[in-house]
Amino acid sequence: METPQSFRPEVRRALAWMVAFRFLINVVVRMTYTFLPAFARGTGMSVESMSRILSARELTSLTAPISGSAVDRHGTGRIMTWSGIVVLGGISLSLFGGAAFVVGMLVFGVGRTAYQISQQAWVGDEVAYQRRGRATGLIELSWGGTSLIGMPLVGLLIEGLSWRAPFFVLAVACVPVIAGLMGQLSSKGEHRRPVRNKLTFNTPIVGALAMNGAMTASAQFLFLGHGLWLEDTYNLNTAEVGFAVIAVGAVEVIATLGSARLTDVLGKKTSMLGGGVLMTAASTALALFPTPPLATGLLLLVLAFLGFEYAIVSAIPLMAELAPDNRARMIAVGLTVSSVSRAVITLVATTIYIQSGFATLMAVASVFGAAAVLLALTVMVEPTPASA
C-alpha cells in the first residue's frame, strides 16, 4: 500500500495515463454542455431535445452497480481498459449524427460510468488514505484542463469546421491513450475483492450520498446554463464562448492543485465544506445579479466552478473510504446518485432557463448548494486514518 510520503513509480506512471484519458472523457462531457446550442443546431435538434439526450446519458449511471460488481470480480485495471474501449465506441458512433448520435451518447455514458468506478477503486487500492486527496486532485486536474485547453479548441473546431470535428479528434486521440493505459495496468497484478456482505446504509453513508447528490445538482445548473447565458446575455459566438471559459479552466486547475495539496492537510470534510460555501455564495450572487458586465459575470462563474471543483475533489476520497470493504460498491452507489441527480437537473434546467431566465436557474442552484452544505455539517463524518 502507498506510503504517505510518496507515490510509487508504477503509480505515478499509471496516474499519468489516467489523467490523459479522463481529460478526453471530460472534454466530451463538458463540450456538450458548454456548446449545447451549437450541437443542437448541428444535429438539427432543439435545445430541449438535446437536453433530453444528455439527461438519458446521465441515466446510464444506473449501470453502476453492475460495473461495481465487475470491478470486484475482474479487477480495477481490466475494467478500466474494457470501459475505455466502450468510451471510444460511443464517441465514434456520435460522429454520424441522428440516431447514431443518441446511441453513441448512451454507449459513452455506460463506458464512462464503468471507468470512473474502476479508476476510483484503483486509487483506493493503491494509495493510502492520507495521500488520496493528492492522487484524486491530480486526476481531477483533467476537469479544469477541459476549460483551459479543451473548450477553446472545441469552439474553434465547431466554428471553423463542423460540430462533428471535435468528436473525430477525440476519437483519434483516445486510441494511443487507451493503449498506454492498457500497458501500464496490465504490467501488474489485479486487485480483486472477495464477495462481502451487503453495503450497510448507515447515517454517515446516507448523509454523504445525499450531500453528493445535492452538490452535484447545484453544479449541474451551472454546467447546463452557462453556455446559453453567455450566448444570450453577451452575444458571444461559439468560438468566443470557448475562449470565455478559459478563465474558468485556469481557476479550476488552481482549485484542483490546491485541493491536491490542502485536502489531506485540512481534512476532506473541512475542504469540501469550504468549496460548497464558495459555490453557493457565487450562485446566489448570479441569481441576484444575472446580467452583470462580462468581466464580473465571468468572475462569479469562475468562483462558482472553483468552489465546486474544490468540494468534489475533497469529497471523492472521503466517500470511497466510508465502506472500505465494499469500496467499489460504495463508489458505484455514489456515482449513481450523482449521475441521476445530473440527469434530473439536465431534464429541467433548460426549461427553467427558457421560461424563467438565468436568475431563477441560479436561485434554485443556490438552494441545492445550501442543502449540500447543511448535510455536510450535520451528518457527514470524516473516516479516521485507522480505518484506511
Return the higher-pLDDT residue of 161 and 194.
Answer: 161
What CA–CA distance (Å, rounded) separates 155 from 152? 5
What CA–CA distance (Å, rounded) separates 89 from 241? 28
The predicted structure's pLDDT at residue 5: 43
The predicted structure's pLDDT at residue 248: 66
Model pLDDT for residues 114-125, shown as the tens digit of each residue: 888 888 777 776
CATH, range 9-387: 1.20.1250.20
Model pLDDT for residues 240-290, shown as the tens digit of each residue: 776 766 766 676 676 666 655 666 666 677 778 888 898 899 999 999 998
